[in-house]
A and B are shown apart, each in its own frame.
Chain A
Amino acid sequence: EAEVAQSPRYKITEKSQAVAFWCDPISGHATLYWYRQILGQGPELLVQFQDESVVDDSQLPKDRFSAERLKGVDSTLKIQPAELGDSAMYLCASSLGRTGELFFGEGSRLTVL
């Protein structure tokens, strides 16, 4: 069964350092999402892509976060500089169409020291 791939699974970094996460959605899924999940909370949307275009990045802290999906396939989420409050699970998801459910990757857990 096709899966959403994410890497790294775990990342420990010091504050003020740069960190990047990678996501490869299920083949053929045009819509890609990045969510952030703080421990004990539900996922919150950071950015949504349709192919290579950003559809919604209203909740992305643009002073330190950036996201790209250059060829409309895989995507990278970057944080620079990382802050203590960025410690969370970063989840990537993809979907096929308007009514389709989101398929999630295993997530990337970030710890900022």
Chain B
Amino acid sequence: AQSVTQLDSQVPVFEEAPVELRCNYSSSVSVYLFWYVQYPNQGLQLLLKYLSGSTLVKGINGFEAEFNKSQTSFHLRKPSVHISDTAEYFCAVRKSGNTPLVFGKGTRLSVIA
């Protein structure tokens, strides 16, 4: 069975500083990888996805992620965060085919002014 580990439950960072949210997955087959963001009392919004091709994926709101197959990682980065980036971030994985997403437990990003 697939699993996703988000290594940090909470990440505080000052405004305009860079941030990295870590994600590792376990799977013996090809996978698709996603990062979603969730604001309080709202649903999940897709930030970016990796399906194939270039291992560096750019998403919305200035976020990017790098797929590393040898380390089974898909870390999310942003070079300069804003107050509005304060939210919960979820890494998710799915196998090819019509399979559901498996989510990590989430990382709460708090941007400090």
Q: Is the CB of A42 within 8 A of B43?
A: no
Which B residues are CB-close (under 8 A) to A97? Answer: 98
Q: Is B63 an interface residue (CB 8 A)?
A: no
Distance of A35 Cα from B90 Cα, bound (Å): 14
* Sampled A-B contacts (16; CB under 8 Å): A4-B43, A40-B106, A41-B106, A42-B4, A42-B103, A42-B105, A43-B90, A43-B103, A45-B101, A91-B43, A97-B98, A98-B96, A99-B32, A103-B46, A104-B36, A106-B42
Q: Is the CB of A107 within 8 A of B97?
A: no
Q: Is the CB of B98 within 8 A of A101?
A: no
The distance from the CB of B59 to the nearest CB of chain A, in whole angstroms, is: 11
A40, A43, A91 — most chain B CB neighbours (10 Å): A43
Closest Cβ neighbor of A9 among chain B residues: B41
Q: Is B25 an interface residue (CB 8 A)?
A: no
Q: Is A75 an interface residue (CB 8 A)?
A: no
Q: Is the CB of A55 within 8 A of B49?
A: no
- Which one, A31, A40, A101, contacts B49 given CB within 8 A? A101
Q: A42-B90, A45-B101, A45-B102 are in contact. List 6 more A-B contacts (CB 8 A).
A: A6-B43, A91-B43, A104-B36, A105-B43, A107-B41, A107-B43
